[in-house]
């Protein structure tokens, strides 16, 4: 992992006074307890996350906001099991990550987590259909391609099944990525700046689709964004600064 998501250590900032109600950690989709992430560098240890406590309920929609370098993407990587916390406990969907090996974490992601990135992360040598079918094939589903076609139909790309990413617009690539993320019916969707590479109108279409799919599937959503309006679409907003949670507010429910 790069150190681009790091920032110099600074004094702790007190949490925002208007904190959102916290779900019961034992029944939560996500429970972070005292999570820290420290990475080595030539100048010495770099403290990326400095003691996060966070509980996200099942089916909840939560936006994560904060300036660049505040630790947002690092927190998402830890929740996805793509980065290991240096200290603290990480529990997602009732599965405690501490002590799991890489194969176990990969199986958990395959079965329970969908991820959407700003840069789409599609395989350029595979068609849209093949890209969506990948996680289903890894899961051993005999109907992988049938299910992938259904998912692409659901995002309005039934006519683009055999097209490669280079033949798709940015919006179509992100629709394909959304179809892939939801294909296996994940309990948790992590979205990191999903409209960051799209124009305003296309980005709005993607967001409408994202929240529609989330509502239809009842999926827990954690959305990283710099856009205050988009953050407000989630039921709750968590703010990070210098590797600390400094705000946790209720937005009164998602605006669909």
Least confident of 11-20, 32-41, 144-153, 157-166: 11-20
Q: Which pLDDT score is estimated for 15?
A: 45
pLDDT digits (tens, 9 = 90+) for 107-126: 999 999 999 998 999 999 99
Question: Radius of gyration (Cα) for the chain, nearest Å?
Answer: 18
pTM for the model:
0.86
Q: Which residue has the higher pLDDT, 15 or 48?
A: 48
Mean pLDDT calculated for residue range 128-140: 95
Q: Which pLDDT score is estimated for 8?
A: 45
The alpha carbon dihedral of 10, 12, 18, 19 has a sign of positive
Q: Which two tokens stand for residue 101?
A: 């090996």
Q: Which pLDDT score is estimated for 132?
A: 97
Res 182 pLDDT > 80: yes
Mean pLDDT calculated for residue range 222-241: 94
User: Could you give the percent of the chain with pLDDT greater than 70?
Assistant: 88
Mean pLDDT calculated for residue range 200-223: 93
Res 88 pLDDT > 80: yes
Res 11 pLDDT > 80: no
Mean pLDDT calculated for residue range 161-184: 95
Q: Which pLDDT score is estimated for 200?
A: 85
Residues listed for the chain: 256
In 3D space, the residue among 205, 217, 210 whose CA is nearest the CA of residue 192 turns out to be 210
Q: Which pLDDT score is estimated for 253?
A: 54
User: Could you give the percent of the chain with pLDDT greater than 90?
Assistant: 78
Phi-psi region of 68 (alpha: psi -120 to 50; beta: other; left: phi over 0): beta
Least confident of 6-10, 36-40, 93-97, 211-215: 6-10
Q: Which pLDDT score is estimated for 14?
A: 45
Q: Which pLDDT score is estimated for 19?
A: 56
Res 9 pLDDT > 70: no
Res 10 pLDDT > 60: no
Q: In what order do the strands lie in the sheet with 188-192?
A: 113-116, 188-192, 220-224, 61-65, 236-241, 244-250
Q: Which two tokens stand for residue 50?
A: 């400095």
Res 7 pLDDT > 50: no
Q: Which pLDDT score is estimated for 1?
A: 44
Domains of the chain, earliest start first: 15-246 (3.40.50.300)
Alpha carbons within 13 angstroms on the beta-carbon side of residue 163 total 13
């Amino acid at each position: 992992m790069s150190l681009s998501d790091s920032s110099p250590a600074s004094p702790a900032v007190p949490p925002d006074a208007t904190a959102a109600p916290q779900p019961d950690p034992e029944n939560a989709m996500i429970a972070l307890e005292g999570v820290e992430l420290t990475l080595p560098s030539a100048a010495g240890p770099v403290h990326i996350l400095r003691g996060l406590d966070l509980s996200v309920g099942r089916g909840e929609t939560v936006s994560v906001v904060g300036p660049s370098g505040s630790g947002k993407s690092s927190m998402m990587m830890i929740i996805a099991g793509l980065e290991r916390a240096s200290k603290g406990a990480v529990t997602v969907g009732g599965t405690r990550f501490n002590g799991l090996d890489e194969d176990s974490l990969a199986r958990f992601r395959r079965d329970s987590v969908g991820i959407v990135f700003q840069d789409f992360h599609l395989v350029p040598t595979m068609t849209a259909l093949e890209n969506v079918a990948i996680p289903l094939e890894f899961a051993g589903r005999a109907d992988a391609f049938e299910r992938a076609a259904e998912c692409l139909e659901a995002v309005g790309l039934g006519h683009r099944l055999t097209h490669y990413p280079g033949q798709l617009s940015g919006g179509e690539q992100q629709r394909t990525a959304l179809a892939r993320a939801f294909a296996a019916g994940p309990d948790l969707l992590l979205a990191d700046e999903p409209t960051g590479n799209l124009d305003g109108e296309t980005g709005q279409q993607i967001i409408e689709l994202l929240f529609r799919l989330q509502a239809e599937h009842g999926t827990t959503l954690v959305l990283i964004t710099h856009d205050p309006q988009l953050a407000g679409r989630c039921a709750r907003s968590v703010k990070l600064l210098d590797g600390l949670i400094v705000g946790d507010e209720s937005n009164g429910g998602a605006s669909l």
